[in-house]
Amino acid sequence: MLVQTRQQTYTPQEYRLLEETAEFRSEYHDGEIVPMTGGTINHNRIIGNIYAYLKSALRGKNAEPFMSDLRLWIPQYSRGTYPDIMVISGNPIFTEGRVDEVFNPVLIVEVLSKSTQEFDRNEKFRLYRSLPDFCEYLLVDQYHFLVQQYIKTDSRQWLFQEFETETDSISLTSLGVEFSLVDIYEGVQFVSVTESQA
């Protein structure tokens, strides 16, 4: 006879306490704690390139980029995630009593891995869209030149654009800055998806 074991669930408060002392970060999915996977060297190079560019381009513009150590809370779905990069315009709005969890990014960037790309494109994007300040989403492929951009219009529709060549430039409408795929992929050496372990 098979005995089913009940999966342990956690409250948001229990999850946050565990994260404070955890050796490795985990996301929170409405009661479930989900360990995060590690990244490749290209994944890290791309994040570093985008962060460095945005940090410089946004100096003096009342907007600030943050890397994946700052947690994003999605109240409507009781989710805690760690986007690769997010940009907050104005002051960060924190979960009450915390300084490690925000919920007001205008731009979110996710660098796609083969294990997470479908989740990032679909379910995660759906969750992010519940955040009122969120208005721009970049999905960056780490295996070849490809950036997908979603921009929220004034009528709350999402426009899609795709960039696939080295010379393409991307205009970030939420921030008033522009950068090229060359900036994003500086130092990246492409390998095939089958060779990669991400």
Nearest residue to 43 via CA among 195, 194, 184: 184
Q: Which CATH superfamily is domain 39-184 in?
A: tt1808, chain A (3.90.1570.10)
What is the radius of gyration, based on Cα positions, of the chain?
A: 17
Low-confidence ranges of the chain (pLDDT < 50): 1-5, 196-198
pLDDT of residue 194: 52
Domain extent listing, the chain: 39-184
pLDDT of residue 114: 86
Rounded to whole angstroms, how far apart are CA atoms 179 and 75?
32
pLDDT of residue 4: 47
H helix or E strand, kind and range, residue 85: strand 85-89
Helix/strand/coil percent split, the chain, to 5: 25, 30, 45
pLDDT of residue 198: 47
Residue written as token pair 């074991």? 5
Strands 147-152, 101-102: pairing is: unpaired
pLDDT of residue 192: 61
pLDDT of residue 191: 77
Residue written as token pair 């560019």? 53
pLDDT of residue 117: 86
Asked if 40 and 89 count as a contact pair (C-beta separation under 8 A), the reply is: no
pLDDT of residue 7: 66
Asked if 73 and 95 count as a contact pair (C-beta separation under 8 A), the reply is: yes
